[in-house]
Amino acid sequence: MQYSLGIDAGGTCTDAVILRDSDSRILDTSKAITTYPDLMVGIRNALDKLNPEYLSKVKLVSVSTTLSTNTILEKTGYPVGLILVGNYTVPRELPADYCTTVKGGHDSNGDELQPLDLTAVEQFAVSLKKKVSAFAVSSYFSTRNPEHELKVKEIILKLTGHPVVCGHELSQELGAYERAATAVLNAQLIPITYQFIHSITAEIKKRNLDAKIFMLKCDGSVIDIKGAKLRPIETIFSGPAASIKGASYLSGLDTCAVIDVGGTSTDVSIIKNGVPELCEKGAVVGGWQTRVKAIRTESSANGGDSHVWFKKCIRIGPRRVMPLCVAAVLYPHFKEKLENNPVPLRTMLSEHTQPTKFFVSTGADPISPTESEKKLLEIIKDEPLSIHEILNKMKRFPSPAVLDSLVQQRVIQAIGFTPTDALHVLGEYTEWDVEAAQIGAKKLSRFTQMGIHAFCKKIKQQVAKNMVYNLMSYIMEGRGKEGIKKMLEEDVPVQYKLNIPIVLLGGPVKAYYEDIKALIDAEIIVPEQASVGNAVGALVGKGIKRIEIIVRPSSMENPDQNFLVFTPAGRKKFEQYQMAVEYSYKTGEELILDSMKDFGLPEGSIKISTSMEYLSPPGWKHTPMETKITFIGVCTPGDLV
Average pLDDT score, the chain: 84
pLDDT of the residue at 59? 87
488 domain-assigned: no
Pairwise CA distance, residues 373 & 198, whole Å: 28
- Single out the residue in 193, 215, 236 at which a domain terminates: 236
Q: What are the residues whose beta carbons fall under 8 Å from the beta carbon of 545, sequence distance 6 or more?
A: 221, 592, 595, 596, 631, 632, 633
Q: Which of 464, 462, 458, 465 is nearest to 441 (CA)?
A: 458
Given a cut of 80, whether residue 66 has pLDDT beyond it is: no
In this structure, how many other beta carbons lie within 10 angstroms of the beta carbon of residue 486? 12
Give me the percent of the chain exceeding a pLDDT of 90: 34
Q: What are the residues whose beta carbons fall under 8 Å from the beta carbon of 186, sequence distance 6 or more?
A: 136, 165, 170, 231, 232, 233
Judge contact between 504 and 524, C-beta under 8 A. Answer: yes
How many independent structural domains does the chain possess? 2
- Single out the residue in 200, 216, 236 at which a domain terminates: 236
- 148-157: list long-range contacts, CB under 8 Å, 24+ apart: 148/85, 148/86, 148/104, 148/105, 148/106, 148/112, 148/116, 149/85, 151/116, 151/118, 152/83, 152/85, 152/116, 152/121, 155/118, 155/121, 155/122, 155/125, 156/121, 156/125
232 domain-assigned: yes
Specify which of 104-113, 407-416, 438-447 reaches the highest per-range mean pLDDT. 438-447
Task: Indicate the pLDDT class of residue 523, thresholds 50, 70 and 90.
Answer: very high
218 domain-assigned: yes
Task: Indicate the pLDDT class of residue 224, thresholds 50, 70 and 90.
Answer: confident
User: Residue 500 gets which letter from DSSP?
Assistant: S
For the chain, the maximum distance between any two Cα atoms, rounded to a whole number of angstroms, is: 82
608 domain-assigned: yes
- Cα-Cα-Cα-Cα torsion 395, 400, 405, 408, nearest 10 degrees, comes to 120
| Residue 570, domain extent | 543-640
Element housing 549 (H / E): strand 543-553
pLDDT of the residue at 74? 63
In this structure, how many other beta carbons lie within 10 angstroms of the beta carbon of residue 480? 11
Given a cut of 80, whether residue 456 has pLDDT beyond it is: yes
Average pLDDT over residues 526-545: 81
Give the phi and the psi of residue 355 in degrees, each rounded to 5: -70, -10
Tens of pLDDT, residue by residue over 297-337, are 777 778 889 999 999 899 998 888 999 999 999 999 999 99
Q: Which of 274, 244, 222, 211 is nearest to 541 (CA)?
A: 222
Given a cut of 50, whether residue 100 has pLDDT beyond it is: yes
β-partners of residue 574 are 563
Q: How many CA atoms lie within 13 A of 344 on its CB side?
A: 21
Beta-strand relationship, 134-139 and 164-166: parallel
pLDDT of the residue at 292? 67
- Encode 211-248: b = buried (16+ Cβ within 10 Å), e = exposed: bbbbbbbbbbbbbbbebbbbbbbbbbbbbbbbbbbbbb
pLDDT of the residue at 600? 57
Average pLDDT over residues 115-126: 94
pLDDT of the residue at 640? 46
pLDDT of the residue at 315? 93
Beta-strand relationship, 98-102 and 80-85: parallel
First-to-last CA distance in the chain? 10
- pTM of this structure: 0.71
Task: Indicate the pLDDT class of residue 601, thresholds 50, 70 and 90.
Answer: low
For residue 146, cis peptide bond before it (omega within 30 degrees of 0): no
Range of weakest confidence among 65-69, 185-189, 204-208, 608-612: 65-69
417 domain-assigned: no
- Cα-Cα-Cα-Cα torsion 147, 152, 153, 156, nearest 10 degrees, comes to 160
Given a cut of 80, whether residue 83 has pLDDT beyond it is: yes
Given a cut of 60, whether residue 67 has pLDDT beyond it is: yes
Dump the DSSP string for 117-180.
-HHHHHHHHHHHTTT-SEEEEEETTTTT--HHHHHHHHHHHHHH---EEEHHHH--SS-HHHHH
pLDDT of the residue at 108? 82
Judge contact between 393 and 373, C-beta under 8 A. Answer: no
- Single out the residue in 189, 209, 236 at which a domain terminates: 236
pLDDT of the residue at 63? 85
pLDDT of the residue at 603? 61
Average pLDDT over residues 462-486: 76
Tens of pLDDT, residue by residue over 132-146, are 988 999 988 888 888
Q: Quick one: residue 612, left, alpha or beta (phi over 0 = left, psi -120 to 50 = alpha)?
A: beta
Tens of pLDDT, residue by residue over 603-628, are 666 788 899 999 888 888 899 999 99
Specify which of 164-168, 269-273, 286-290, 419-423 reaches the highest per-range mean pLDDT. 419-423
57 domain-assigned: yes
- 509-517: list long-range contacts, CB under 8 Å, 24+ apart: 509/259, 509/261, 511/423, 511/426, 511/428, 511/429, 511/460, 512/261, 512/460, 512/463, 512/464, 512/467, 515/460, 515/461, 515/464, 515/465, 516/259, 516/464, 516/467, 516/468
Pairwise CA distance, residues 468 & 482, whole Å: 12
Task: Indicate the pLDDT class of residue 284, thresholds 50, 70 and 90.
Answer: low
193 domain-assigned: yes
Pairwise CA distance, residues 614 & 582, whole Å: 16
pLDDT of the residue at 60? 86
Tens of pLDDT, residue by residue over 231-261, are 766 777 677 778 888 888 899 898 999 998 8
Average pLDDT over residues 565-581: 90
Pairwise CA distance, residues 471 & 502, whole Å: 10
Q: Which of 249, 244, 219, 248 is nearest to 234 (CA)?
A: 219
Given a cut of 50, whether residue 641 has pLDDT beyond it is: no
Tens of pLDDT, residue by residue over 356-394, are 999 999 888 887 788 998 899 999 998 999 999 999 888
296 domain-assigned: no
Residue 568 CA, distance from chain mean position:
24
Given a cut of 60, whether residue 23 has pLDDT beyond it is: yes
Task: Indicate the pLDDT class of residue 543, thresholds 50, 70 and 90.
Answer: low
Judge contact between 295 and 64, C-beta under 8 A. Answer: no
Judge contact between 541 and 222, C-beta under 8 A. Answer: yes
Range of weakest confidence among 116-125, 310-319, 394-403, 602-611: 602-611
